[in-house]
Amino acid sequence: MQGVMAFFVGIGLSATCGFRIFVPLLGLSIAHHAGHITLSHGFEWIGSWPATIAFAVAMIIEVIAYYIPWVDNLLDTIATPAAVVAGAMTTASVVGDVSPLLRWPIAIIAGGGVAGLIQGSSVLVRGTSSATTAGTGNPVVSTGELLAAIVGTIVSIVLPVVAIVLVALIMFLIFRRILRRGAQPTS
């Protein structure tokens, strides 16, 4: 996979890292095994069987942990920097024949940035849910995030153009919300 389509796959997967870290990594590994994605040099390990198994186990643990009230908030503290790293890594792993001088800035800024914005928004939603429902609404938030991660991963791999449009829409909504909050008068 090369060029713009690889970039679209990378950004789509990076965005899904903001919802769940290990769902897109597992999806990427499975797509490599299926021959649908060729990993960049140095990232072949993502497609190894030990990595696939590790991603599957980590995904199961991550999904379960997000359904435990208050553990989910603690997990967000750890997941935020991890999502940025995973987002950068997924983009770098699919953007093939690009100089490392270009690959890493793209991966860190675009991939890590998108993952960080999605994860940050997710943290705010979970925090609001925790504050307003004493954590009882968090399983609904967790289910929505999990579905977004699964669907986003599949769409990113199978229909990368659709994925990049969805990522652009999500980014637009996030920035619009940020700008609206910034424009509100303080009391």
Q: Tens of pLDDT along 59-106?
A: 999 999 988 877 887 888 888 899 999 999 999 999 877 888 888 898
Tell me 96's DSSP state.
-
Rounded distance between C-alpha atoms, residue 137 and residue 149, angstroms = 19
Q: Tens of pLDDT along 158-184?
A: 999 999 999 899 888 888 877 787 767
Rounded distance between C-alpha atoms, residue 40 and residue 157, angstroms = 15
Query: Is 1 a residue whose pLDDT tops 70?
Result: no
* pLDDT band for position 186 (cuts 50, 70, 90): low
Domain ranges within the chain, ordered by starting residue: 3-183
CB 28, CB 94: distance < 8 Å: yes
CB 115, CB 49: distance < 8 Å: no
CB 136, CB 69: distance < 8 Å: yes
Which tokens is 39 given?
């990993």
CB atoms under 10 Å from CB of 180, counted, come to 9
* Torsion sign over Cα 43, 110, 154, 78: positive
pLDDT at 122: 87
CB 12, CB 152: distance < 8 Å: yes
What would the DSSP string read from start to end of 103-125? HHHHIIIIIIHHHHHHHHHHHHH
Q: Tens of pLDDT along 3-29?
A: 888 899 999 999 999 999 999 999 999
pLDDT at 187: 56
37: closest CA among 186, 156, 182, 175?
156
110: closest CA among 91, 93, 86?
91
CB 26, CB 56: distance < 8 Å: yes
